Amino acid sequence: MELTTLWFALIAILWIGYFVLEGFDFGVGILLHVIGRNEPERRAMIRTIGPVWDGNEVWVLVAGGATFAAFPEWYATLFSGFYLALFLILVALILRGIGIEYRNKRGDLAWRSRMDIIIAVGSFLPALLWGVAFANIVQGTPIDADKEFTGNLITLLNPFGLLGGVTTLLLFVTHGLLFLTLKTEGEIRERARTLTLPVGLVTAVVAVVFLLWANAIRGDLLSLVVALVAAVAYLAALLAVRLRKEGWAFFGSALTIGLAVVSLFLALFPDVMPSSLDPAWSLTTTNAASTPYTLTIMTIVAVIFVPVVLIYQVWTYYIFRKRVTVPRASVEA
pLDDT along the chain (333 residues), means of 10: 90 95 95 91 92 89 93 92 91 94 86 93 95 93 88 88 96 96 91 94 94 90 93 93 92 95 93 91 92 93 88 87 74 45
Q: What is the pLDDT of residue 313?
A: 85
Cβ pair 138, 268 in contact under 8 A: yes
Q: What is the pLDDT of residue 1?
A: 63
Which residue from 119, 92, 256 is spatially nearest to 174, judged by alpha carbons? 256
Statement: the pTM of the whole predicted model exceeds 0.95: no
Q: What is the pLDDT of residue 152?
A: 82
The Cα 235–Cα 229 span in angstroms is 10
Q: What is the pLDDT of residue 148?
A: 85
> CA distances (Å), 123 to each of 114, 174, 176, 294, in order?
14, 14, 11, 35
Q: What is the pLDDT of residue 326?
A: 79
Q: What is the pLDDT of residue 332?
A: 44
Q: What is the pLDDT of residue 96?
A: 94
The fold adopted by the segment(s) 16-326 is: Formate dehydrogenase/DMSO reductase fold (1.20.1630)
Q: What is the pLDDT of residue 235?
A: 92
